[in-house]
Amino acid sequence: MDLQTTIYLVVGLSFALYIGIAIWARAGSTSEFYVAGGGVGPRINGMATAADWMSAASFISMAGLIGYMGYGGGLFLMGWTGGYVLLALLLAPYLRKFGKFTVPQFIGDRYYSQTASTVAVLCLLVASLTYIIGQMTGVGVAFSRFLGVSNETGIYVGMAIVFTYAVFGGMKGITYTQVAQYVVLIFAYTVPAIFISMHLTGNPIPQLGLGSDMVGTDVSLLQKLDSIVVDLGFGQYTTTTAGSTLNMFVYTLSLMIGTAGLPHVIMRFFTVPSVAAARLSAGWALVFIAILYTTAPAVAAMARMNLHATVNSAVNSGGDMFAAESSLKVEDRPEWMKRWEVTGLLKFEDKNGDGRIQYYNDKTTDQAVLDKAAAAGWKGSELTVNRDIIVLANPEIALLPNWVIALVAAGGLAAALSTAAGLLLAISSAISHDLVKGVFNPNISEKGELMAGKVAMACSIVLAGYLGLNPPGFAAGTVALAFGIAASSLFPAIMMGIFSKKMNKEGAIAGMLAGLTITLFYVFAHKGLFFIKGTDYLPLIGGKNSFFGITPEAFGAIGALVNFTVAFVVDKFTKAPPEHIQALVESVRTPRGAKAVDGRH
């Protein structure tokens, strides 16, 4: 069977499985299949949360970015897992005890203010929309490869499918469907990693393979990769940091507190049966997430190695990488390169006209490398590979069997679709319930509310798709921006709502607005107003990364600091919250008496 047919078959089968489970669960007609509340234990709930959480950014984009960044890519790994510790310790159990369904509801009640709730809705919308732009970037990559079309067409098809998926309720809320999605996703991620690890190091466990010697040698894989990339003018793999140590520090912190502040993640913990279960659920979710996250660095390093080995035969033979015959002949290039050329995400240009492909860092500051390249007649790097294709192309690069390639395509689609649909649902409920019904038109009929939600969904997907055509960065980078926004706006308000009895509405509102504004100001300076290309205003802030070399993706932690500071200062000069609110905070702090969640619609 040829590759394309196999891909259609496997993707089709995986979707049939999700739909089948959904129908079976509905036919069972018992409420326990819906929401995690009923008879679902923390393990199953954790698995479903993991599927919900791991999006196109984790599955499709992250390992590719780590592969290019090397050691510094660890910020994604630590950031997106370390946030669960904060979530489990600081927020989840208390929000569960509080017993409302959405984050704006918590903020509105705790800060006894409709305005606070509306500001929270605003923060939620900005963060979720940015997140969806990142998802659409990933969806575009997956669909363009899956259908063999250009990246733009891939995004259009993706928009249509995500919309249909979300309007029909997605497959959200049905825990067992999400469990199936997790299983497909994790198989799709680990199976190729096991094959490749086995092939390169003889160790089938990727987490150990990454720390092992190359097959038949006593040189470790990382040591070998270090020497290859340095010889080609790239930064050393195991030590190159992300910008600077300071930037890596705040970037990691941003992702961590952003994880704990993202409404669609927090929402999962509102629906567990008890406070104790909320604590355990976060742990189990992290176990299932960690399986992918500890495999990702191996995928990253091994894909980087295989990519260099494909283009330059001296990588494996140990010969001179600058010898003329080491570089890959254009007509000998493997099938996978041709397949990805169609999408426009992989390009090469024979700059020196020798009929071979040279791939190295032509912007290196290492004069020795530049001299060698010049002596060999190289006139610049000839291969451009979009980082977002690495994970999907990885099994093809490693020449794995067709069914493995097809499985990865199915996994990528599952990851991207489920998260995009989940976010759209969060947006639509925030607009229809918290904003339209809560503020503008309290008398709206249930039907009108539903309609408003669907319109909101359609608008956000068109907007996200449009911005996804010219994305502000690679999928994981864009998603990191969303985390920064959540970190700077929502996390401090929720945390102070629990840990400070005295924090009042004036402080919280001023804090949220200050954190959101300053973060967006810095992000838009780099990426354009509302991410529209060409509207950036870098000169105004004194150039790129002008704030101590901190990148816009990392700025959320600074925004959060501003949020806390402004909140405490304003709180000092305004009236303390009323007695009953202080009593409410005390009751939130103790588990006993947790009731079923209400306020759901």
Partner 1 sequence: MDKQGEAYWKATLGLLTKILAVWFLVSFGAGILFADMLNGIHLGGYPLGFWFAQQGSIYVFVALIFVYAKKMGEIDRKFDVHEE
DSSP tag of 551: -
Asked whether position 88 contacts partner 1 by CB under 8 A, the answer is yes
Asked whether position 313 contacts partner 1 by CB under 8 A, the answer is no
Nearest to 46 by CA among 258, 262, 277, 261: 277
Asked whether position 37 contacts partner 1 by CB under 8 A, the answer is no
Asked whether position 230 contacts partner 1 by CB under 8 A, the answer is no
Smaller CB distance to partner 1: residue 87 or 159? 87
Nearest to 231 by CA among 325, 359, 333: 359
The region of 69-77, 339-347, 375-383, 520-528 touching partner 1 under the rule CB under 8 A is 69-77
Nearest to 138 by CA among 151, 150, 129: 151
Smaller CB distance to partner 1: residue 447 or 595? 595
Query: What mask, x for binding partner 1 by CB under 8 A, covers residues 536 to 575?
Result: ----------------------------------------
In the complex, least distance from residue 210 CB atom to partner 1, rounded to whole angstroms: 7
Asked whether position 594 contacts partner 1 by CB under 8 A, the answer is yes
For residue 251, what are the β-bridge partners?
A: none
In the complex, least distance from residue 279 CB atom to partner 1, rounded to whole angstroms: 4
Asked if 251 contacts 85 with a C-beta cutoff of 8 angstroms, the reply is no
Choice from 283, 344, 448, 528 touching partner 1 (CB under 8 A): 283
Q: 3-state SS string over 143-211?
A: HHHHHCCCHHHHHHHHHHHHHHHHHCCCCCCEHHHHHHHHHHHHHHHHHHHHHHHHHHHCCCCHHHHCC
Asked whether position 346 contacts partner 1 by CB under 8 A, the answer is no
Asked whether position 41 contacts partner 1 by CB under 8 A, the answer is no
Query: What mask, x for binding partner 1 by CB under 8 A, covers residues 164 to 203?
Result: ----------------------------------------
Choice from 351, 589, 599, 601 touching partner 1 (CB under 8 A): 589
Choice from 114, 274, 364, 546 touching partner 1 (CB under 8 A): 274
What pairing do the DSSP bridges indicate for beta strands 356-357 and 346-348? unpaired
Choice from 222, 426, 456, 495 touching partner 1 (CB under 8 A): 222
The region of 99-107, 137-145, 205-213, 457-465 touching partner 1 under the rule CB under 8 A is 205-213
Asked whether position 238 contacts partner 1 by CB under 8 A, the answer is yes
Choice from 442, 592, 596, 598 touching partner 1 (CB under 8 A): 592
Angle CA 230–232–234, to nearest 5 = 55
Angle CA 123–125–129, to nearest 5 = 125
Q: Which helix (H) or strand (E) element contains residue 329?
A: strand 328-329
Residue 165 burial (C-beta neighbours within 10 Å; 0-12, 13-18, 19+): middle
Q: How many secondary structure helices (H) and strands (E) does the chain include? A: 26, 4
Smaller CB distance to partner 1: residue 273 or 465? 273
In the complex, least distance from residue 80 CB atom to partner 1, rounded to whole angstroms: 10
Contacts of 444 (CB under 8 A, 6+ apart): 436, 437, 452
3-state helix, strand, coil in the chain (%, to 5): 70, 5, 25
b/e burial code for range 209-242 (CB count within 10 A of at least 16 → b): bbebbbeeeeebbbebbbebbbbbbbbebeebbb
Asked whether position 258 contacts partner 1 by CB under 8 A, the answer is no
Size of the site for partner 1 (CB under 8 A): 53
Asked whether position 576 contacts partner 1 by CB under 8 A, the answer is no
Asked whether position 480 contacts partner 1 by CB under 8 A, the answer is no
DSSP tag of 130: H
Choice from 114, 294, 352, 500 touching partner 1 (CB under 8 A): 294
Smaller CB distance to partner 1: residue 289 or 400? 289
Asked if 105 contacts 117 with a C-beta cutoff of 8 angstroms, the reply is yes
How many other C-beta atoms lie within 10 A of the C-beta of residue 273? 20
Q: Is 531 helix (H, G, I), strand (E, B) or coil?
A: helix
Asked if 33 contacts 25 with a C-beta cutoff of 8 angstroms, the reply is yes
The region of 8-16, 137-145, 242-250, 448-456 touching partner 1 under the rule CB under 8 A is 242-250
Choice from 89, 462, 540, 576 touching partner 1 (CB under 8 A): 89
Smaller CB distance to partner 1: residue 279 or 526? 279
Choice from 18, 59, 84, 555 touching partner 1 (CB under 8 A): 84
Smaller CB distance to partner 1: residue 442 or 593? 593
Asked whether position 252 contacts partner 1 by CB under 8 A, the answer is yes
Q: For the chain, how big is the Rg over CA atoms in Å?
A: 25
Choice from 297, 395, 422, 484 touching partner 1 (CB under 8 A): 297
Asked whether position 223 contacts partner 1 by CB under 8 A, the answer is yes
Smaller CB distance to partner 1: residue 126 or 214? 214
In the complex, least distance from residue 297 CB atom to partner 1, rounded to whole angstroms: 4
Contacts of 556 (CB under 8 A, 6+ apart): 254, 255, 257, 258, 483, 484, 485, 486, 487, 488, 519
Nearest 5°: phi and psi at 598?
-125, -175
Q: Which residues contribute to the site for partner 1 (CB under 8 A)? A: 66, 71, 73-75, 77-78, 81-82, 84-86, 88-90, 93, 207-208, 210-213, 220-223, 238-239, 245, 248-249, 252-253, 274-276, 279-280, 282-283, 286-287, 290, 293-294, 297, 586, 589-594
